[in-house]
Amino acid sequence: MPRRLRRSALQCRASSTRSENNPAECSARTSLSFFAGPRKESTDKVLGDTETSFEPQKVRILTDIIRQSAADLAGALASKQISAVEATQAHLDRIAAVDDDVHAFLQVDRDGALAAASEVDRRRAAGESLPTLAGVPIAVKDIATTRGLVTTAGSKMLEGWVPPYDATIVTRLREAGMPILGKTNMDEFAMGSSTEHSAYGPSHNPWDLERIPGGSGGGSSAAVAAFEAPLAIGTDTGGSIRQPAAVTGTVGIKPTYGGVSRYGLVALASSLDQAGPCSRSVLDAALLHEVIGGHDPMDSTSIDAPVPPVVEAARRADVKGMRVGLVKEISGEGFQPGVKARFDESVQLLTELGAEVVEVSCPSFEKGLAAYYLILPSEASSNLARFDAMRYGLRVGPKGIERPSAEQVMAASRDAGFGDEVKRRIILGTYALSSGYYDAYYGQAQKVRTLIARDFNAAFEQADVLVTPTAPTTAFKIGEKIDDPMAMYLNDVATIPANLAGIPGMSIPNGLADEDGLPSGMQFLAPATKDERLYQVGAALEAALNERWGAPILSKAPALAVKESI
């Protein structure tokens, strides 16, 4: 039955879910980890500092703010060692210093972020009990509507559009007291794997500014990788959180479909889109997941259940006895050798940690890419129809027509406002949905979707989680694949099946490829609604990798390839 039936009941449930984040309890734990434990060491390494322990002096913390994990920053904020304004200002300064090079942001909301931060400080000073991440700043992909702050989805079509409403996840960030630093770059309407399809120019990979940061959410990943933000929001329709995470050495999670509200996310493909966290550690992602996840009565496809216990799982970080499934069809064959090597090592590492590795087969995956490139354009062609120049967004008149009709204005505006990739997919989708072709294309693709879900169900009989490399290659050069859509589409071959089946997936950095020294990504997949398994296994492998590499992978970035701001 329609969701509105249960709206009042659901609202109660949703709010009680969020209040389960007992702020006092979490702050106590995070403040502990701020001063002790493995993460402190990693921080020092990033800074090139040789000290192995340090006193919690305020001066010192201030200079380190941008290097902190969100969890540590939350601890420092909770124990009033730094203020939210200081934390926010430090990141705004970092953005000012490096974003000309990285171009992670399309809009920076300096005033809004500082105002939100000072409100957090005021409330904290008044003794209010605040949510765990209160005062921790965040970057939001420009696909989520932000009241009063321009939202373009990377398109000329929405240049200068100021939404009158907040996306549900943005509301939740605000309620959590997280200052929004700005809106991050993306491929136009999230169509792409490199941000090269952004109407506002590409973002650059902090590991090598000549290279792509992945896409579509390359801006969010680049911002996190370049220490411009400790956390960011991404959206993932076929890999747009996970592939950018892989090529920037960061963490990205696509939650179970329906786990995070889509209300206020400019829709690409409604049945595939899912928002999720981008971060530099698995625990940070879990903390953000708890903020944005949970039922939303404004999204009919939102799951009516509490957020999975992801933070608890990230802290447990234990894989002993866990069955890890190696997907025969995506085991890295044909991938870049360095990517394949790191993947094999990671699997070995999981075995050493006590996981049981089994091989599973998902024969329908090979049809996934084809099905995806029918379903996505079909839904996108319909979702993007609303951009007609009538109520908002770009409006241009057709050339040489003095009194154009509404239809002519629509056509001219859509011609001027949409980029080539968007037009390509609208044409594909319009064709695929046409009567006479529907059954052969859209209908068949939906059947493939069922087959893929069936493959996953069978695989999850044998394994608790599945593993694959996240992306076939490390970050490629800007311009390298721009004229070859098929090569671009192949980036998502390992990530797409999760979207088609609605299951959750995570990418964590698992090392550097020998041939280019660039980060590679490890993907975990879990059954629908079992997102916590990703965090449990992801955090365990992350800890083991940090130990093996002596520090987080991200600390290996060559001075982050950008000028230091501090």
The residue ranges that bind other proteins (CB under 8 A) are 1-5, 7, 144-145, 151, 153, 158, 161, 163-165, 167, 262-267, 269-271, 297-301, 378-379, 381-382, 385-388, 390-392, 405-407, 410, 430, 433-435, 438, 442
Distance (Å, whole) CA 43 – CA 86: 19
- Catalytic position from the list 40, 45, 141, 556: 141
Could you tell me the two tokens for 509?
Answer: 């950095």
Please state the closest distance from residue 264 (CB atom) to other proteins, in A: 4
**The dihedral sign for the CA sequence 383, 501, 263, 227:** negative
Of 381 and 546, nearer to other proteins (C-beta) is 381
Q: For the stretch 392-417, what's the b/e string if a residue is b when 16 or more beta carbons lie within 10 angstroms of its beta carbon?
A: bbbeeebeeeeebeeeebbebbbeeb
Could you tell me the two tokens for 2?
Answer: 């329609």
Distance (Å, whole) CA 184 – CA 143: 9
Distance (Å, whole) CA 325 – CA 315: 22
373: left (phi over 0), alpha (psi -120 to 50) or beta: alpha
Q: Is 141 a catalytic residue?
A: yes
- Catalytic position from the list 240, 279, 364, 520: 240
Please state the closest distance from residue 299 (CB atom) to other proteins, in A: 5
Polymer length in residues for the chain: 566
Query: What count of other Cβ atoms lies within 10 Å of the Cβ of residue 9?
Result: 11
**Three-class SS state of 109:** coil
Please state the closest distance from residue 446 (CB atom) to other proteins, in A: 9
CA dist list (Å): 522 to 113, 308, 509, 542 = 33, 22, 6, 10
Question: DSSP assignment, residue 557?
Answer: S
Of 92 and 410, nearer to other proteins (C-beta) is 410
Q: Is 399 a catalytic residue?
A: no
- Catalytic position from the list 216, 221, 279, 520: 216
Of 157 and 518, nearer to other proteins (C-beta) is 157
Of 88 and 381, nearer to other proteins (C-beta) is 381
Distance (Å, whole) CA 239 – CA 245: 10
Please state the closest distance from residue 388 (CB atom) to other proteins, in A: 6
If you search the block for the tokens 């911002």, which residue do you land on? 223
Please state the closest distance from residue 491 (CB atom) to other proteins, in A: 24
Please state the closest distance from residue 408 (CB atom) to other proteins, in A: 12
Distance (Å, whole) CA 172 – CA 131: 11
Please state the closest distance from residue 379 (CB atom) to other proteins, in A: 6
Of 44 and 187, nearer to other proteins (C-beta) is 187
Of 89 and 171, nearer to other proteins (C-beta) is 171
Distance (Å, whole) CA 491 – CA 335: 10
Q: Is 118 a catalytic residue?
A: no
Of 512 and 528, nearer to other proteins (C-beta) is 528
Q: What are phi and psi of 181, to 5 degrees?
A: -70, -35
Distance (Å, whole) CA 212 – CA 204: 5
Question: Residues with catalytic annotation?
Answer: 141, 216, 240
